[in-house]
Structure 1
Amino acid sequence: MVVRTKSRGHTRSTAWTQRLAVAALVLAALNLRPAVTSLGPVLEEARAALGMSATLAGLLTSVPAVCFALVGSAAPRLARRHGPDGVVLAGMAAVTAGLALRPLVANTPVFLTLSGLALAGIAVANVLLPVVVKQRFPARVGMMTGLYSMALNLGASTAAAVTVPLAGAFGGDWRAGLGAWAVLAAVAVPPWLALARDGRRQPVAQPGSEDAAAKAGADVRVARNPVAWALAVYFGLQATSAYVIMGWLPQIFRDSGLSAETAGLLFALTSVLGVPLSFVLAAVAGRLRDQRGVAVLLGAFGLAGYAGLWAAPAAAPWLWAVLLGVANCSFPLALTMIAMRGRDGATVIRLSAFAQSVGYLLSIPGPILVGALYQHTGGWRAPLAFVVCLMLPQIAAGFFAGRDRQI
């Protein structure tokens, strides 16, 4: 009888921890994009208040890539020392602090620094959420990955759509519209605090599970493998496109004569499409041994969307937003291909770190060049022509990365 009581108690404890983990994952995922997508709809007001040039605004759109490449690469080491739950907890705290403080400053360098703090928190969570899913939901990895991918897109689209109305509710103050998202980040802290205190968490890697020389050799093989480089290039180019959209799409629509509210809704549409599509796409691509056709199709959507913006942004803005929203689903496709190209779990971890770190580094110049071209030419024809040209190597890299090959 005593044994059964303990067993029932353990089952209840496990069930409670699982529910807590689901809530924590969803709340963390909701906070992985508002720091970026909330800024686009009020970028014009922020630039005016901070004295920010278009080139510096382009730099701001590249800060996420810098943080994800540099800080994200340190996440596995931090997790081995402190546990993934504790590192994600610290990340959510950093997001809260950065989002709460950056609207209070009056100059560009401090604004960029506090944005970097929030993005550093997002970077570690970005890398470690798949680890948490694999540890706590080993039998439901696909479903839970789809769930937090949907939450990620929901957070992105909501921040894009609601930031301007939030600012309006506070007398048109763009600072209040940005700072409000710190509240959502703060809500994510308590569940991760509880998970970090949970004694059932496991380390990312068991000490001694791999021989050090073997691990080093495997890392070299991943870095030298053409499939890994195809994935890295594909990841980097799709990230370039995504950050151009997040950083500049509302401004493109506003410069074409549309209102700030309409531009925010159009931008939100590109994100909200990812809520169902990311789940469906990951499920479909995961059943295919070869994802080349999917990568090419998504690239074609991107080409059509950017070409429409180049030709006549105000002629069919909702169509251009839909096309670019579908093209943005190259992100879950990239993650799916990374998981499928590795022959085992250890290889997938190394492949993911390599593809994401190199990919984010490759994505840094794109948004900066877009901002510089916009400032130099005074219009969007040259920047959009540049982005259209980048879609071609993205399609080629996706074609090679999508082949049925394993490392």
Structure 2
Amino acid sequence: MVNRNKLFLLALILAAFNLRPGLTSVSPVLHGITKDLGMSSTLASLLTSIPLVCFGFCSLFAGRLANRYQSEKMITLAITCIGIATFLRAFTNSSIYLLITALLIGAGIGVVSPLLSGFIKSHFPDKAASMISIYSTSMVVGASISIGLTTPLQHWFNHSWKNGLAFWSILALLAIPLWLVVIKQSRIPASNFSQKTKGSLPLKNKKAWLLTSFVGIVTLLFYCFAAWLPAIVEEKGWTPAFGGLAGTIAMIAQLPATLLLPSLLKVLPSRRFWITTFTLSIIISLSLLCFTNVTPIVSSICLGVGAGGLVSLSLLLPLDMASSPMEASTWSAMTQAIGYMIGAVGPFIIGFLHDYLGSFVPTLYLLIIIGFIAILLGWKITKSAKGKAEGLSVK
């Protein structure tokens, strides 16, 4: 059993590694992409927005797929889709081709992400917070290395951003063989995953809609910066290389929040307190970028800490409210499906406003307002979930 648990934990980590590089590896080489393919800022923003929309749409069907087929099989198939689409970027010859690969990557992520929540609920029911921490941290590591290494890889591969993007298919190549073993080792057949919910989404549940709105706001904030932080820093007068460094630091700064979240919840279990604290960290980051000339590194750190904590909490809250692995998958599917569709609007709006206004400053004002809305939603969620979520023990 111990070896089996270690196998499943490693599989979870490798799967999570694949959930961000297809999106985050684009921003460090975005200048080269727009130059070579003749893309405007608005069109380039679709490289982040389209995967998020597709992510959200495909999440709607994740629970039903898990109910009809073995959940682990669907995770393996979706990781394969991510890997193939990422590899195909090596042959990019037009903006439409690149957007199609983004769509396929988003589809794969949309299936994997909610099913991993059910996987955790099923195989690690007594260690949900710790497993979510490992899951979130693994995603952050995948995002960080893709942002930090894509530019060096571009130079290594004869200054080809296409090969730099395609390189990240290696993460799927590492994960797939292990998940094929997990399929054989799993003792939970699809037909027994849940007989009550049958993969239906909690569309009539008020708490689910509140949580979905919160996830949408958190996602919007996160991906606006994942897509545009290097460009924002560059507009403030810093070099493109420094902009890429700021983006990398923002990703790495998420690690303390994701790693320490279980310990923080043991000391102070209140989800409300941590939602407020992490969101204020993002608002401080936005304010520093908007109103001061302080080095963007400080803003990147505040942004990373806030984003890391909020993303981890948004993954944990559906598990707090779920009573079974399938319910965890369907709650996660709904919050991520609709929430990520909301989040997909963010990068597009930032790109459009920048094209229209010629500056990122007005968009920073807008994001500060959205940050305060996130706090209000967080307080409403924790009030609704107080009796169940905030009272849970964290193991």
TM-score (normalizing by structure 1): 0.87
Uncovered stretches (5+) of structure 2, i.e. residues with no partner: 390-395
1:274-285 mapped onto 2 (5 Å cutoff): 274-285=254-265
- 1:118 deviates by 1.7
- 1:58 deviates by 1.9
Uncovered stretches (5+) of structure 1, i.e. residues with no partner: 1-13
Given the alignment of the two structures, is residue 317 of structure 1 paired with residue 296 of structure 2, yes or no?
Answer: yes
The equivalent of 2:156 in structure 1 is 169
Q: Any idea what the Cα deviations from partners look like across 1:98-140, whole Å, max 9, x if unmatched?
A: 1111231111111111111122112211111122223333343
- 1:361 deviates by 2.2
Given the alignment of the two structures, is residue 327 of structure 1 paired with residue 306 of structure 2, yes or no?
Answer: yes
Given the alignment of the two structures, is residue 149 of structure 1 paired with residue 136 of structure 2, yes or no?
Answer: yes
Given the alignment of the two structures, is residue 77 of structure 1 paired with residue 56 of structure 2, yes or no?
Answer: no
- 1:178 deviates by 1.1
> Highest relative contact order (Cα 8 Å, sep 6+), 1 or 2?
2
The equivalent of 1:219 in structure 2 is 202
Given the alignment of the two structures, is residue 336 of structure 1 paired with residue 323 of structure 2, yes or no?
Answer: no
Determine what percentage of the aligned residue pairs are the same residue.
27
Contact map agreement 2:137 2:259 (CA 8 A) in 1? yes
The change in CA–CA distance for 1:210 and 1:337 in structure 2 (over 3 A counts) is closer
- 1:48 deviates by 1.1
Aligned partners of 1:229, 1:283: CA distance in 2, in Å? 28
Contact map agreement 1:343 1:406 (CA 8 A) in 2? no
- 1:66 deviates by 0.7
- 1:205 deviates by 4.8
Backbone CA RMSD of aligned residues: 2.4
Aligned partners of 1:287, 1:232: CA distance in 2, in Å? 27
The change in CA–CA distance for 1:84 and 1:344 in structure 2 (over 3 A counts) is closer
Aligned partners of 2:89, 2:187: CA distance in 1, in Å? 36
Q: Any idea what the Cα deviations from partners look like across 1:282-338, whole Å, max 9, x if unmatched?
A: 4433775532222122221111111222234x6311101011112202111122233
1:117-266 mapped onto 2 (5 Å cutoff): 117-198=104-185, 200-203=187-190, 205-206=192-193, 209-210=195-196, 219=202, 221-222=204-205, 225=206, 227-266=207-246
Contact map agreement 2:132 2:312 (CA 8 A) in 1? no
Greater Cα radius of gyration, structure 1 or 2? 1
The count of residues paired between Structure 1 and Structure 2 equals 386
Where 2:145 maps in the other structure, the secondary structure is helix
Aligned partners of 1:191, 1:141: CA distance in 2, in Å? 22
Aligned partners of 1:346, 1:131: CA distance in 2, in Å? 6
1:379-398 mapped onto 2 (5 Å cutoff): 379-398=359-378
- 1:347 deviates by 5.0
The equivalent of 2:392 in structure 1 is none
Aligned partners of 1:344, 1:96: CA distance in 2, in Å? 30
The letter for the 2-side match of 1:320 is: S
1:22-171 mapped onto 2 (5 Å cutoff): 22-171=9-158
Aligned partners of 1:211, 1:362: CA distance in 2, in Å? 25
The equivalent of 2:275 in structure 1 is 295
Of 128-137 and 118-127, deviating more is 128-137
The letter for the 2-side match of 1:153 is: V
Aligned partners of 2:197, 2:18: CA distance in 1, in Å? 37
Q: Any idea what the Cα deviations from partners look like across 1:51-107, whole Å, max 9, x if unmatched?
A: 111111222221232122111121111122221111111111111111111231111
- 1:232 deviates by 1.4
TM-score (normalizing by structure 2): 0.90
The change in CA–CA distance for 1:244 and 1:286 in structure 2 (over 3 A counts) is farther
Aligned partners of 2:186, 2:151: CA distance in 1, in Å? 43
